Amino acid sequence: MPADKSPEPESDERVVLSFELRREIDQIIGGNHHNYCYQCGACVAQCPAARFSDRFNPRLIMLDLLLGRADKLLAADSPIWLCTNCYSCYERCPQDVRPVEVIIALKNLAGRKGVAPDSVSLLTRNILKTGYSGVVTPVVHKTREKLGLDPLPEPPVDEMLELLDSGSDERDASAGPREEKTRERSHGETPAGNASQRRKK
């Protein structure tokens, strides 16, 4: 297990809190539970990425978010991309923070700001083009035929694209995030309002 190093500032360095990143994350699906994090570290214990790399620690990602450090979390070398998406942290968290979902919300924000790795967009583009995540080559048809399977159905791509807002995805990345942001806001969740809503269940 790697050492759980806290990003504590040097004695003469001041911690500057910023709420901007937190407000943005609150508006994205899965992001709004980050407010519940009390830094217990239960998420780290079973995290395979933390076990195999000292560059990844879900508790520290939550701490950086609570401090509003967009400079670290939305940087090109942000640790968020090392998450294995295994959901162990979601399983362990006593506060229902759902850290993996918060990390996915951060990835969405990175995409909107144009700092997501190309490999993420590649698979998304396949889906938007064909309705399938994988590439359908002639070999695929032949293998299916040999196995006695029916030909692959053609997914209704146009219908699927109707559901996406330009600006929110690969269809029109150049349009920018403005339209999507307005729609996200209309969701109307403030951290406080959200907390009381969640606690009701």
Q: Which residues bind other proteins (CB under 8 A)?
A: 28-30, 48-49, 52-53, 81-88, 90-91, 98, 104-105, 107-108, 111, 116-117, 119-121, 123-124, 127, 131-136, 140, 143-144, 147-149, 152-153, 155-157, 159-160, 162-165, 168-170, 180, 183-184, 186-189, 201
Q: Output the smallest distance, CB 67 to other proteins, in A.
A: 23
Kindly tell me which of 40 and 187 has the beta carbon lying closer to other proteins. 187
Kindly tell me which of 9 and 165 has the beta carbon lying closer to other proteins. 165
> Beta-carbon neighbour count of residue 179 at 10 Å?
14
> Beta-carbon neighbour count of residue 171 at 10 Å?
14
Q: Indicate the DSSP class of residue 133.
A: S
Q: Output the smallest distance, CB 181 to other proteins, in A.
A: 11
Q: Output the smallest distance, CB 39 to other proteins, in A.
A: 20
**Opening angle at CA 32, ends 28 and 128, nearest 5:** 25
Tell me whether residue 135 is exposed, middle or buried, using C-beta atoms within 10 angstroms of its C-beta: 0 to 12, 13 to 18, 19 or more: exposed
Residue with tokens 């919300």: 105
